[in-house]
Structure 1
Amino acid sequence: MTKLTIAAAAAFALFATQPVMAQDAAMFASTSKLTQTGGENIYKAICAGCHMPEGQGAIGAGKYPALANNPNLESAGYPIYLIIHGQKAMPALGNVLDDQQIADVVAYIRTNFGNSFAEPVTVEEVTDAR
């Protein structure tokens, strides 16, 4: 396969699959805040669209790094900062998620997808990173 064919197939796969959050508008009580709770539910609602359901990441309109087996998640501060402030293709979600939601989703990605960083993620860590 040529690079163009591979890129086209990857782009089609990303756009042919609707993001989970588009499928369930009921999870949004407001247009500016995600009301979903629990790390897994938040991941499925907002993160899986780019990082993929199993955290394997993707390349398409941007590069969405794999969260699976990712040593960068060892320090909770790193994903907390990226979720709040964004970076490159990662949008800033600090205005969409509250501190508890961010703590929950960071704890989820750090203990799933082959990651085993079980140290707790606290709301205070998130508050301090804002």
Structure 2
Amino acid sequence: MTQQLARPIGLLAAAAFAALPVTAALADSAGATLSEGDKFSEKTGQELYTNVCQACHMDQGQGAVGAGKYPALAKNENLASGAYPVYVILHGLKGMPPVGKMMSDEQVAAVVNYLRSNFGNDYKDAVTVEDVTGAR
């Protein structure tokens, strides 16, 4: 194939790929979900934790210290009251951004309930969608 012909074909292929409609969340090379638009697409608490929270709070909720301090969520007594993590997710706190602005009330409740029942936390009183709506 001559170079004169290769260039137009490459441009056509790039244009065709760019024109494809994106209708669902995409996945990166590591398999992490990339949400579309300004809202997270994950539905379950575990999916939300894995794709939104885990980068800072780590895979087992152990937290981290480095460029910033990311508190441990594992065995965290601050999670005893469901209102606390709902507030922090919706409104942010110190270095924690208000990621709840990019979640529905259902998603916030799901991730809070996941945090409160995993990582050595055993809080049985579930946060409801109405709790989140009231805190928003």
TM-score, length of structure 1 as denominator length: 0.79
Larger gyration radius, structure 1 or structure 2: 2
Aligned match of 2:81: 75
Structure 2, unpaired ranges of 5+: 1-26
State the structure with bigger RCO (CA 8 A, min sep 6), 1 or 2.
1
- Return the offset for 1:124: 0.4
Matched, 1:92 2:112: no
Question: Do 1:27 and 1:36's aligned partners in 2 also have CA atoms closer than 8 Å?
Answer: no
Matched, 1:119 2:125: yes
Matched, 1:103 2:109: yes
- Return the offset for 1:97: 0.8
Question: What does 1:1-130 correspond to in 2, within 5 Å?
Answer: 23-24=30-31, 26-28=33-35, 30-130=36-136
Instruction: For residue 115 of structure 2, give the secondary structure of its aligned residue in structure 1.
Output: helix
> Structure 1's 26 and 43: CA in aligned 2 closer, same or farther, altered over 3 A?
closer
The answer to which of 42-51 and 87-96 deviates more is 87-96
Q: Cα deviation per residue 1:60-119 (whole Å; 9 max; x = unaligned)?
A: 121110000001000000000000000111011122111000000000000000000011
Instruction: For residue 120 of structure 2, give the secondary structure of its aligned residue in structure 1.
Output: coil
Q: Cα deviation per residue 1:3-61 (whole Å; 9 max; x = unaligned)?
A: xxxxxxxxxxxxxxxxxx86456541x32000101000100010000000100000112
Q: CA RMSD in A?
A: 1.6
Q: Which runs of 4+ in 1 moved over 6 A?
A: none
- Percent identity for Structure 1 against Structure 2: 50
Structure 1, unpaired ranges of 5+: 1-20
Aligned match of 1:6: none
Instruction: For residue 54 of structure 2, give the secondary structure of its aligned residue in structure 1.
Output: helix
State the one-letter code of the partner of 1:83.
Answer: I
Instruction: For residue 94 of structure 1, give the secondary structure of its aligned residue in structure 2.
Output: helix
> Structure 1's 115 and 26: CA in aligned 2 closer, same or farther, altered over 3 A?
closer
Partners of 1:67 and 1:25 lie apart in 2 by 21
